[in-house]
Structure 1
Amino acid sequence: MANQTKNLAAVLPAAQADFVVEERPIPTPGPNEVLVRNHFIGLNPLDWKRQLTGMFIPSYPAVLGTDLSGVVEAVGSNVSKFKPGDRVLGGADGIVSQKPENAAFQTYTILRSSSTSKLPSSVSLEQAATLTTSIVTSYLMLFHVLGLPKPELKAPPPNATVLVWGGASMTGNLTIQLAKLAGLNVYATASKKNHEHLRSLGASVLFDYNSSTVVEDAVAAAEREGKPIAYVADTIASTATLSSVQDILSKSTATAKVIAHTGPWPEDLPKLDAIDADMVHGEELWYKPDMIQLGSKIFHEDLPTWLESGVIAPPPYRVIEGGVGKIQAALEVLKAGVSNQKVLVAV
């Protein structure tokens, strides 16, 4: 095997423990899989939440992580879209397969071919590592949960506004871009320091979520345009944010009112009957047949095309050097709070 090194992994030995570095075997890809030598690992809030709560971790020790970019080392017998040496990004399915070799927090990771994308030369490996979870979540929020017209359909957009709550999150960045690509009227909330950047991505009107009048301001702006807020993508999905977006939709004159949210609906927040709300389930791309097919379309067709043409710009990022031994420190940075920035670990 070319470029063979040790497969160092950040291993979670027990619930709520810190990650420790251990050496694991370099795995061999199955028929529909690729082996990637990781160069950058992208961190998500779900990673530190899993570490603290044990969600989706049936046993220990465990290897976590979903987002990565790197170079293909080997491919399975049925794989024709990739070859050794290809620069790729991918979504590691360890959260579903429960296979440690299929998780991102290590030097080498097994990826399904269906959730791997070849990178155009214009996109760096650092940029690529910002995309996986966020692009899938954004796509599913807009075109699956909210049911809005996909960009390739070139359908006339609804005479309504989609509001992205948490526009400066990584998912928010990409939701704004995909919504604009689909021809939608896009509003977003973020702290004022991020308004200019989000406007450059395609949000036509920005609101400061810290404002005491954000609900009234958002409703009034959309009503003045004659495009009332009908659709909300809540990328934060806290009790406070979901309460605010329900309040916005309850005051909107739109007929259809739908919320797509990235986390479970809070137990302490009643749902309003006049509003549909559903959580996005990105993990379905790994086990539902129709969703696996959709995932292949996103990773093999849509994302490479969008990146090559430049209509989708990777979000800003911060790189933490030092290899998988820095996973714990990087998760502490993410947990403490970052704004408009993806935290990456250089492998």
Structure 2
Amino acid sequence: MSSTAETLNRSAVLPHPKAHPMIIMSSPIPVPTGTEILIRVRAVAINPADYAVQKLGIVIKPEFYPYVNGNDVSGEVVSVGPDQTRFKPGDRVLGHAMAWQKGDNKYGVFQDYSIMIEPMVSKIPDRKPFEEAAVLPLGLTTSSAMLFSPSLMGLDLPVAGTEIKLERKSRDCESCWIYRCGTASEHNHELLREMNVDYVFDYKKDGITEEIINSLNDIGDLAGVYCAVYSDTAITACATIADRLRGKKCLGTIFPPGIPIPGTIPDGVQVLINYHVLLGSTETGMRLWVDWLPGALEDGTMKCLPHPEIVGKGLEVIQDAVDTIGKGILHIALEISSEALQ
């Protein structure tokens, strides 16, 4: 049973593919079953995937409409299913929504109440604002599925009480550090350094692909290249880097199955499709979300970045936030503030 006195759940809904704007609708507050968790949404983060789903009508099956969009959420546990043992009412949590995997709007997050599914939920420290916590889930899930899944890049999983050290065996040494390298506009370089990135490059510079190759050519074997954007230019550049550097010639992507890969891929470079939707059903997902993430958030090992920009309060501002993401402001997390959905 829900511990809230409310009976209706307000949602920002896409009535059909490519619908604009979203409309506000009400439905009964869902009841968690099994190990499910019902949360009162306090903040949501907006990301490019939310814009693409609405603008392009991709990923979501036609029969799933009307559809409640959104991926990243934080809030308070209201009630739990009878088999749930990790969480209790009142816990502060973040979670990764599962609406487009499950085909049921109770799992969407652009609404007052949402059902979360194990293991893609984690407690957050009392000191962590909901707005900060909400930026993490989708980025963590997508990158972790690619970096740590044995069938993909296969890097070593972090263990409880440690940071993500990114170590692996290689032909040259028994245990080698993997240097973290990233690209961003120059004004975002400090953000990457805050993330402990070892090599930072400006992707807008002329000749940046060659600069990256020359800078990294002598530091060791490549563990892989991960491209977290949908862009012909970026995919081509990342594939070229994977081809030219010594080591594992693989290009990790954010693309789910069925999405065509843009750009030019050299022969010999393996393009890896991102099965992040399946992460929760794997040992990798369990170890990250259950064994490692809660402690890493508590001790500060896992940072919730980028820093959020609060754009408004309430379901009514979600459409404006998604539209803003669509204008190319992709480096800032846009959120609905925690007061919005009270």
Q: Same fold (TM over 0.5)?
A: yes
Aligned to 2:3: 2
Question: Aligned-pair distance for 1:110?
Answer: 0.9
On the 8 A contact 1:93/1:102 being kept in 2, the answer is yes
Equivalent residue runs for 1:150-229 within 5 Å: 150-152=157-159, 156-157=167-168, 183-224=177-218, 226-229=219-222
Equivalent residue runs for 1:208-287 within 5 Å: 208-224=202-218, 226-252=219-245, 254-263=246-255, 266=260, 269-286=263-280
Query: In the superposition, relative to structure 1, how do residues 137 and 155 fare at CA in structure 2: closer, same or farther (>3 Å)?
Result: closer
1:57 paired with 2:61, answer: yes
Q: Partners of 2:167 and 2:119 in 1: how far apart? A: 30
- TM (norm. structure 1) is 0.86
On the 8 A contact 1:122/1:308 being kept in 2, the answer is no
Q: Partners of 1:20 and 1:154 in 2: how far apart? A: 44
Other structure's SS at 2:310 match? strand
Residue type at the aligned position of 1:249: A
Residue type at the aligned position of 2:299: S
Question: Aligned-pair distance for 1:322?
Answer: 2.4
Query: In the superposition, relative to structure 1, how do residues 156 and 344 fare at CA in structure 2: closer, same or farther (>3 Å)?
Result: closer
Q: Please, which of 22, 25, 28 is the counterpart of residue 28 of structure 2?
A: 25
Q: Please, which of 71, 74, 94 is the counterpart of residue 69 of structure 1?
A: 74
Aligned to 1:16: 18
Residue type at the aligned position of 2:229: I
Question: Aligned-pair distance for 1:211?
Answer: 1.2
Residue identity over aligned pairs, in percent, reads 28
Other structure's SS at 2:242 match? helix
Question: Unpaired segments of 5 or more residues in structure 2?
Answer: none
Residues 131-140 or 117-126, more deviating? 117-126
Structure whose residues are more often helix by fraction? 1
Aligned to 1:319: 310
Query: In the superposition, relative to structure 1, how do residues 339 and 105 fare at CA in structure 2: closer, same or farther (>3 Å)?
Result: closer
Query: In the superposition, relative to structure 1, how do residues 146 and 330 fare at CA in structure 2: closer, same or farther (>3 Å)?
Result: same
1:44 paired with 2:47, answer: yes
Residue type at the aligned position of 2:325: L
The superposition leaves residues 99-144 of structure 1 with CA deviations (integer Å, 9 ceiling, x where unpaired) of 1111111000111132211112232211111111111112122112
Query: In the superposition, relative to structure 1, how do residues 58 and 285 fare at CA in structure 2: closer, same or farther (>3 Å)?
Result: farther
Query: In the superposition, relative to structure 1, how do residues 155 and 220 fare at CA in structure 2: closer, same or farther (>3 Å)?
Result: closer
Other structure's SS at 1:151 match? coil
The superposition leaves residues 251-294 of structure 1 with CA deviations (integer Å, 9 ceiling, x where unpaired) of 22x132111111267555343232122021211135xx4x2x43
On the 8 A contact 1:50/1:57 being kept in 2, the answer is no
The superposition leaves residues 190-234 of structure 1 with CA deviations (integer Å, 9 ceiling, x where unpaired) of 11111122123211221111112111111111124x325441110
Question: Unpaired segments of 5 or more residues in structure 1?
Answer: 161-181
Query: In the superposition, relative to structure 1, how do residues 27 and 338 fare at CA in structure 2: closer, same or farther (>3 Å)?
Result: same
Query: In the superposition, relative to structure 1, how do residues 343 and 183 fare at CA in structure 2: closer, same or farther (>3 Å)?
Result: farther
Task: Output the aligned Cα RMSD.
Answer: 2.2
On the 8 A contact 1:230/1:249 being kept in 2, the answer is no
Q: Partners of 2:148 and 2:285 in 1: how far apart? A: 13
Q: Partners of 1:146 and 1:318 in 2: how far apart? A: 32
Residues 64-73 or 271-280, more deviating? 271-280
On the 8 A contact 2:122/2:290 being kept in 1, the answer is yes
The superposition leaves residues 156-189 of structure 1 with CA deviations (integer Å, 9 ceiling, x where unpaired) of 54569xxxxxxxxxxxxxxxxxxxxx94211111
Aligned to 1:309: 299
1:146 paired with 2:153, answer: yes
Q: Partners of 2:146 and 2:279 in 1: how far apart? A: 13
On the 8 A contact 1:239/1:266 being kept in 2, the answer is no
On the 8 A contact 2:135/2:308 being kept in 1, the answer is yes
1:107 paired with 2:107, answer: no
Residue type at the aligned position of 2:73: L
On the 8 A contact 1:10/1:106 being kept in 2, the answer is yes
Query: In the superposition, relative to structure 1, how do residues 319 and 183 fare at CA in structure 2: closer, same or farther (>3 Å)?
Result: farther
Q: Partners of 2:73 and 2:13 in 1: how far apart? A: 17
